[in-house]
Amino acid sequence: MTDEISDDDLTRRDGLPKGLVTLLEAFPRAEWGGDPRFGGLAAFWLDRHLAFRDLMARMADDAEAVAEGRMDPEAWRGRLARMGNHLVQDLLGHHQIEDDAYFPQMQRLEPRLTRGFDLLEADHHALDGLLRGFVAGANDALTATAAREGALRFHAGLAPFARSLTRHLEDEEDLIIPVILKHGMA
Ligand SMILES: [Fe+2]
Ligand SMILES: [Fe+2]
Given pLDDT bands bounded at 50, 70 and 90, which one contains residue 6? low
170 Cα: distance to centroid of ligand 2 (angstroms): 9
Would you say residue 186 has pLDDT above 90? no
Ligand nearest to C-alpha 49: 2
88 Cα: distance to centroid of ligand 1 (angstroms): 13
145 Cα: distance to centroid of ligand 2 (angstroms): 36
Strand, coil or helix: what is 142?
helix
For 26-59, the pLDDT digits (tens) are 999 999 999 999 999 999 999 999 999 999 999 9
Q: Delimit the domains of the chain by residue range.
A: 42-104+112-159+173-186
How far apart are alpha carbons 84 and 89 in whole angstroms?
9
Mean pLDDT estimate for the chain:
94
3-state DSSP: the chain helix, strand, coil percent, rounded to 5? 80, 0, 20
Residues around the ion ligand 1 (C-beta < 5 A):
98, 172
47 Cα: distance to centroid of ligand 1 (angstroms): 13
95 Cα: distance to centroid of ligand 1 (angstroms): 5
Per-residue DSSP letter, 13: -
Report yes or no: 172 and 59 within 8 Å, Cβ to Cβ: no
For 120-171, the pLDDT digits (tens) are 999 999 999 999 999 999 999 999 999 999 999 999 999 999 999 999 999 9
34 Cα: distance to centroid of ligand 1 (angstroms): 24
Predicted local confidence at residue 1, as pLDDT:
44
Report yes or no: 16 and 175 within 8 Å, Cβ to Cβ: yes
For 52-91, the pLDDT digits (tens) are 999 999 999 999 999 999 999 999 999 999 999 999 999 9
114-143 vs 73-97: helix crossing angle, rounded to 10 = 160
